[in-house]
Amino acid sequence: MKIVYSYNKRGFEAEMFREEMLALRDDRYEFIPLNHDPYVDPSRYLRAQLLDNLYYARDAGLMRLYVDIKAMLGDLGADALLVDNAFPYHPDFLRKLDVFKVLRTTDGPMAAYDRDFAYVHAYDQVLFHSPAYSRDMGMEEKLRYVGAKDVRFWPLGVFSRMYDRSRTEETILAHERDVDVVFVGRAVPNKMPLLAKVQKAFGRRCVIRGVSSLKGNVYYNVKFGFPGWWRPIAFEEYVPLYQRAKIGFNVHNRGDYTVGSYRLFELPANGVMQISDGGAHLDAFFKTGEEIVGHNGDDLVDKIRYYLDHDGERNRIALAGYRKAMREGLMSVRLRQAGELIEDGIRLKKSRGRAAMTA
């Protein structure tokens, strides 16, 4: 089965996505990477209405992408088109595209109405990365509610570049780890109160890195009493930093309702014991208390202190999380899972078509 995987990434991430697909050697599935980023700046179509405006105007870059993807699918004899990240394909274009169409959502509830829900009717299948959505319902129920035809859970994972493949169960915890607590992520206002609380509690023992700006750093320090400067980090620096860390904590934009980030898998893949929000949804990814520890925000500092003081328990959970990540969370495994889900979706669509003809 040939699956064209269309995504938008740049630099390190673009190479990482492409390498992962090309490295997959499987008799059943072949993933062909297409980075749609160069065609149109994603900021011009990140929201569904913006894409509709571009499509109406017959934007040159967008039209060139449509010509190329149509030719690519035909030349390859592709069975499916899997679309990830910012979605550049207008539903009216997809309506005429004779291929099994798959939407991969990763934005979560904070952006779903802008970036996801407007498109689900145009795809044969939707793969969602987290079962969490809101207090009222889970993501699967919400996607069906807004009209998705076939909905499947497909978690994120860890790319080969984001962990040290030379490490094993015997060596992953064998070296010295001189960083007590680590967090790598984007400096967004929803996360700042809890991040500042942890940073103040542990001082220089807590290393926080990620995407920020001068304005964001000034706001963070003035608003929360100068907890510390948020320094940038290159993708190449993630693994060396994680290999130094004992505990990594996870904070999502809407807490339990947005759990499921790449960080959730990168931490254990590097032997870091993880404490994360996510509530009951955590068990969809790791066994709480065995492979990961949950927090509710209020108890995060106390839990970090406890596991820093109890090396045996911390290492036991870190090793169990590492085993789970290596067994199920690698992107090579995830891609095969996607192939199985898409293959099953194609069978389901055909059976529904036959049933409709005989009804």
The answer on 72 and 199 residing in a single domain is no
Q: State in Å, rounded, how far the first CA of the chain is from the last one.
A: 30
The answer on 217 and 353 residing in a single domain is no
The answer on 130 and 179 residing in a single domain is no
| pLDDT band at residue 359 using 50, 70 and 90 as cut-offs | low
The answer on 61 and 88 residing in a single domain is yes
The answer on 336 and 318 residing in a single domain is no
Give the chain's domain count: 2
Q: Which of 40-44, 194-198, 354-358 has the lowest mean pLDDT?
A: 354-358
Going by C-beta distance under 8 Å and a sequence separation of 6 or more, which residues neighbour residue 87? 45, 51, 103, 115, 116, 119
Q: Which of 96-100, 123-127, 187-191, 267-271 has the lowest mean pLDDT?
A: 187-191
The backbone torsions φ and ψ at residue 273, rounded to the nearest 5 degrees and listed phi first, read -70, 130
Q: Structure tokens of 187?
A: 């400096």
- Kindly report the CATH number assigned to the domain that includes residue 150: 3.40.50
Q: What share of the chain is helix, strand, coil (3-state, %, to 5)?
A: 45, 15, 40
The pLDDT score that the predictor gives to residue 242 is 97
The pLDDT score that the predictor gives to residue 107 is 79
Select from 283, 234, 275, 270 the least CA-distant residue to 251. 275
Range 8-15 average pLDDT: 96
- The domain in which residue 196 lies consists of 160-329
With a cut of 90, say whether residue 21 has pLDDT above it: yes
Range 43-64 average pLDDT: 97
d(Cα 290, Cα 274) in Å, to the nearest integer? 11
The answer on 128 and 73 residing in a single domain is yes
What is each CA distance from 165 to 19, 76, 145, 152, 347, in whole angstroms? 15, 32, 41, 29, 36
The answer on 22 and 152 residing in a single domain is yes
- 244-302: pLDDT as tens digits: 999 999 998 887 888 999 999 999 999 999 999 999 999 999 999 999 999 999 999 99
The answer on 220 and 335 residing in a single domain is no
The answer on 182 and 290 residing in a single domain is yes
With a cut of 90, say whether residue 187 has pLDDT above it: no
Strand order in the sheet with 125-128: 30-35, 2-7, 80-83, 100-105, 125-128, 151-153
The answer on 263 and 140 residing in a single domain is no
Range 218-240 average pLDDT: 92
The pLDDT score that the predictor gives to residue 174 is 95
The answer on 120 and 264 residing in a single domain is no
With a cut of 70, say whether residue 11 has pLDDT above it: yes
Q: Which of 61-75, 119-133, 244-258, 310-324 has the lowest mean pLDDT?
A: 244-258
Beta bridge partners of 80: 3, 100
The pLDDT score that the predictor gives to residue 4 is 98
Q: Structure tokens of 351?
A: 């059976």
Range 175-196 average pLDDT: 92
The answer on 120 and 181 residing in a single domain is no
Q: Which of 160-169, 180-189, 312-321 has the lowest mean pLDDT?
A: 180-189
d(Cα 9, Cα 17) in Å, to the nearest integer? 8
The pTM assigned to this predicted structure is: 0.94
- Kindly report the CATH number assigned to the domain that includes residue 277: 3.40.50.2000
Residue 192 near residue 221 (C-beta atoms within 8 A)? no
